[in-house]
């Protein structure tokens, strides 16, 4: 793309056409400035095929807020809409609507409550609640979904990979296979969700992280084409980076050439007073090669040298590798835990594309409209009860049990609070017969999840740095039942409605069904 | 992201750290300006799980060329690298290297040959060949891969969806679920590969396409919350867009409410002299609902009204829907082909994320280095023969048979040409026993696929508009055997080496193996 087009394609026109056709219709009807409320939530955890997440990690909010502040109709955007024509060749948008849009086409009038980034989140819980003029809140839909869906999806995958790596170092390597510039959002989300560093230089700098990387196969190939050897290549690299030397050992033959040459260079480094960092394995049977590499490095007196694994890794392949090391190490006279404790992981493609589930099914639904001075809940029926959104202005509480573990998320009406309930009835989202009652004494905390981020366009929330967001993630994961964190077949975390919310939803559904034309 | 950070994260630092650590090492060794050649190719077709592509559609080149022209080291980028430190706290990059990078850190010295966008392409064929100073050609790697992998992946998915839709209208709807701003690249690729239009406003404008869209469920919900009805909402929309009226009929009850209300509004439009466009179905059993909708629309005298289908569509779900219509229409007294001929498709998430295969395994490999005035082929061994790249400076020819169909792509040495061969021997990429010989008389054309795009930084190629790229795609698909185009279990298209290329690859592999340390 030409760089002068970028602003046009990533500003307020980074949205779907129907937002503007609807906005103009609302304008025509005098409804465009009616206060409306929309909920962002996702319907289900990512399902990677054969394994499905038991939780997600919330992410994307700060970039959405940045976008909301900068995106607005300028003359260029107005001219784009002015040039659009309908089937008959007539202008699609009228001059009075465009004049209104030129004055009001920005997000300075919106209020947004949201769940902070890094929090563990679950389906059907409003993660962002937007209130403001109907036409404007509607125009926000596409970009809000794009920002929050992308980063929550990738932060979740990163958290799963982090879970599988048992605390070892993870570097995100995905810039070459992620989707266009969207991979920068993926890198940020990966850092929130569990990657410690990234190889992506620009976005690492922007976020305050040192980018990480060593060398590619091409470096060894170049030396070979020059009539030199792998050993020459390793030596040259070690001379340039004597204290930061990680060598990629599989360009020719991992065990036959790469590791022996790396060890020779490491010995040379040691004689000069340097500590070599380690090696990287990028192909073959990684568990087997890691065991063999550990044995060779130990024998040469480098028991601390890191072994970096890469090559299409994800949470399951890492789990498989660690399982295999557990089984094979002892048979080879090695201690599995010592090998696992020196591993690091370069995780790219499958992390930044959330392989298996490359999209999050987050939606943005109208839940209330202000009419005659009060909020009227908005509903949508569906043949599938799970797809009927929870109407109205809501509050969300996370309930913690005596162990300090999160036991459920509770959606209540605005005026309710768990503190005022004699006991807490948890109603299933759709099934009348499914409910459980919690004794107040068993609940040590009812934590409100939503906080105000933007108050009528005014930023009222200090976005924390990534490091603080990661601390939020770690704390939340510590308060999550281990069963919910399982990579496969996790326990289902409860997201429930209060009795009052449940009754309201039932009443609204019934009254909507009663008004169906075919029933009359 | 803050907008002032965008340029930093999407310019020349949109790459992997190891490109710079390698570049500095080359600089240290005096190798940084050695002429080098890199091939971009993908290793295998996307495998969506249970179905796998038989061809890809090449895309992304123009945006890559735009990026190459604009990306360069400015003071800001140099300062980013200057601030990086190694483990010991010492600066990672030295002042002399940074000074060289400030002067030479751009792509103005590179030459690129490439396959045009829109062409049908296959694994292991070089789709872009970059020649220039080793350090600079290496720095290009990550962004080149990102650009070409993304758009080729999505253009391919779009072509498959186009194949399944039997020529009917396809609108790309994916902005809300694509990966960040990368979805703009996905939209462009979708338009190249088979989508006719997109709902994404900004990028459609930038590419010269009118964006498409009508209304969402929220419009009907808003009217209901106002105490009005679905019919009121439809009427208001039709009044605003009397000649562009597509109504979404599943907010309440598709057959019981949505379609009857739409028909009432269509009748009102007709009385005023307008032609309603159609309806959109977004949930439920789409084949069944399409048949019922067609029946109701026909009965009301709207046999031309379009029925737009949407909801997580992809090539297989569309194929299933059309199969079901074929089976059920007659049973319901309807003609299947007439229903299928009035369908249009809104395809979003699964298109722009290439669901099932969200990444293309494109790689960028060093294939030759200039030494003593000649190009020396560069090699990389691998335990898996399929992963040993084809070395050296190559040419690519597509061979067409007497039917005018493409029968194979042939990789030759630079100095070879099929025109000079008495007969054409096609050697399998890795298996010595697999070869076939084509008589010259059976080959009506040997078309060179690579053309020069940039000659030492000078643009020498006129990038065609999207419409022309689509014509290229259509022409190429017409010349592809129908078996190769099948959505499932396609015939395998042959990509072969010339006898000379095969011998050279064997010789290099053998000599590299002979030089392995363990063999000595």
The yes-or-no verdict on residue A518 having pLDDT over 70 is: no
Instruction: Give the residue from A30, A32, A52 showing the smallest Cα distance to A42.
Output: A52
Low-confidence ranges of chain B (pLDDT < 50): 519-520
Over the stretch A104-159, which tens digit does the pLDDT of each residue have?
999 999 999 999 999 999 999 999 999 999 999 999 999 999 999 999 999 999 99
- Residue-level pLDDT at B517: 59
Question: What class does CATH assign to A214-345?
Answer: alpha beta
- Give, for B104, the enclosing helix (H) or strand (E): helix B95-104
Distance CA B280, CA B258 (A): 10
pLDDT, position B389: 84
Q: Check if the beta carbon of residue B104 is closer than 8 Å to that of residue B428.
A: no
pLDDT in tens, A317-364: 999 999 999 999 999 899 999 999 999 999 999 999 999 999 999 999
CATH class for the region spanning B214-352: alpha beta
Place of tokens 């022309």: B468
B458's CB contacts (< 8 A; 6+ apart) are: none
> Domain locations in chain B?
214-352
pLDDT at A520 (0 to 100): 36
What is the spatial distance between Cα B55 and Cα B408, in angstroms, rounded to a whole number? 12
User: Is the pLDDT confidence value at A160 over 90?
Assistant: yes
- Put simply, the answer to whether A201 touches B49 (Cβ < 8 Å) is no
CB B200 within 8 A of CB B216: no
Mean pLDDT, rounded, for A493-520: 83
Mean pLDDT across A64-68: 97
- Answer whether B161's CB lies under 8 Å from B315's CB: yes
pLDDT at A517: 60
Residues of A in contact with B378 (CB under 8 A): 218, 221-222, 224-225
Whole-number Cα distances in Å, B211 to A138, A201, B173? 17, 35, 10
Subunit contact A256:B516, Cβ cutoff 8 A: yes
| Whole-number Å distance between alpha carbons of A459 and A443 | 33
- Facing residue for A380 by CB, picked from B85, B221, B366: B221
- Mean pLDDT, rounded, for A228-249: 97
Task: Band the pLDDT of A291: cuts 50, 70, 90.
Answer: very high
Nearest by CB to B383, which of A205, A214, A284? A284
Structure tokens at B130: 């970059």
Strand pairing class (A120-121; A362-371): unpaired
| Structure confidence at residue A227 (pLDDT) | 92
CB B325 within 8 A of CB B148: no
CB A152 within 8 Å of CB A119: no
pLDDT of residue B520: 37
Report the largest interatomic distance among the alpha carbons of chain A, rounded to a whole angstrom.
91
- Touching check for B17 and chain A: CB below 8 Å? yes
In this prediction, residue A381 has a pLDDT band, given cuts at 50, 70 and 90, of confident
Q: Which residues of A touch B280 (CB under 8 A)?
A: none
Nearest-neighbour CA in chain B from A439: distance (Å): 36
Phi, psi for residue B300 in degrees, rounded to 5: -90, 0
Specify the DSSP class assigned to residue B464: P
Q: Which residue of B has its CA nearest to A13?
A: B202
Return the SS3 of B61: helix
ipTM: 0.96
**Residue B321: per-residue pLDDT:** 98
pLDDT of residue A395: 97
**Residue A519 pLDDT more than 60?**
no
Nearest to A417 by CA among A501, A505, A480, A493: A501
User: In the predicted model, is pLDDT for residue A235 greater than 70?
Assistant: yes
Residues in A 75-134 with any Cβ partner in B closer than 8 A? 80, 84-88, 90, 92, 134
Q: What is the pLDDT, as a whole number, of residue B380?
A: 80
**Pairing mode, strands B111-114 and B128-133:** antiparallel
Residues 6+ apart with CB under 8 A from A511: none
Interface check B420 vs A, CB under 8 A: no
């Amino acid at each position: 793309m030409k760089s002068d087009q970028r602003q046009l394609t990533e500003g307020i026109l980074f949205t779907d056409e129907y937002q503007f056709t609807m906005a103009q219709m609302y304008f025509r009807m005098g409804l465009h400035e009616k206060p409306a409320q929309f909920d962002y939530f996702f319907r289900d955890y990512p399902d990677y095929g054969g394994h499905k997440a038991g939780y997600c990690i919330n992410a994307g909010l700060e970039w959405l807020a940045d976008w909301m502040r900068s995106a607005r109709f300028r003359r260029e955007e107005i001219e784009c809409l002015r040039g659009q024509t309908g089937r008959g060749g007539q202008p699609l948008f009228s001059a009075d609507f465009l004049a209104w849009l030129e004055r009001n086409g920005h997000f300075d009038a919106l209020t947004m409550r949201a769940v902070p980034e890094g929090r563990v989140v679950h389906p059907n819980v409003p993660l962002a609640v937007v209130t403001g003029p109907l036409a404007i809140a509607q125009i926000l839909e596409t970009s809000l979904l794009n920002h929050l869906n992308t980063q929550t999806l990738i932060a979740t995958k990163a958290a799963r990979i982090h879970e599988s790596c048992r605390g070892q170092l993870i570097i995100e390597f995905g810039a070459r296979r992620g989707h266009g510039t969207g991979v920068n959002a993926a890198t940020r989300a990966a850092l929130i969700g569990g990657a410690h560093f990234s190889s992506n230089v620009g976005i690492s700098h922007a976020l305050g992280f040192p980018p990480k990387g060593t060398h590619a196969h091409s470096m060894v190939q170049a030396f070979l084409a020059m009539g030199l050897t792998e050993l020459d290549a390793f030596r040259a690299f070690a001379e340039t980076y004597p204290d930061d030397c990680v060598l990629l050992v599989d360009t020719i033959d991992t065990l036959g050439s790469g590791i022996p040459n790396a060890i020779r260079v490491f010995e040379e480094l040691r004689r000069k007073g340097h500590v070599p960092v380690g090696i990287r394995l990028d192909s073959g049977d990684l568990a087997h090669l890691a065991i063999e590499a550990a044995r060779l490095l130990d024998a040469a007196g480098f028991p601390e040298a890191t072994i970096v694994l890469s090559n299409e890794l994800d949470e399951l392949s890492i789990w498989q590798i660690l399982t295999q090391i557990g089984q094979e190490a002892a048979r080879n006279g090695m201690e599995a835990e010592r090998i696992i404790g020196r591993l690091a992981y370069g995780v790219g493609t499958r992390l930044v594309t959330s392989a298996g589930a490359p999209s999050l099914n987050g939606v943005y639904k109208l839940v209330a409209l202000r009419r005659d001075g009060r909020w009227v809940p908005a509903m949508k029926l569906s043949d599938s009860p799970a797809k009927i959104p929870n109407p109205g202005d809501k509050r969300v509480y996370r309930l913690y049990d005596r162990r300090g573990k999160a036991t459920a998320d509770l959606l209540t009406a605005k005026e309710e609070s768990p503190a005022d309930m004699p006991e807490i009835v948890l109603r299933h989202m759709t099934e009348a017969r499914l409910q459980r009652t919690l004794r107040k004494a068993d609940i040590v905390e009812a934590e409100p999840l939503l906080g105000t981020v933007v108050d009528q366009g005014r930023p009222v929330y200090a976005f924390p740095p990534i490091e603080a967001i990661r601390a939020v993630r770690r704390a939340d994961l510590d308060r999550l039942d281990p069963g919910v964190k399982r990579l496969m077949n996790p326990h289902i975390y409860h997201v429930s409605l209060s009795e009052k919310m449940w009754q309201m939803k039932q009443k609204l559904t019934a009254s909507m069904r009663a008004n169906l034309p075919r029933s009359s």
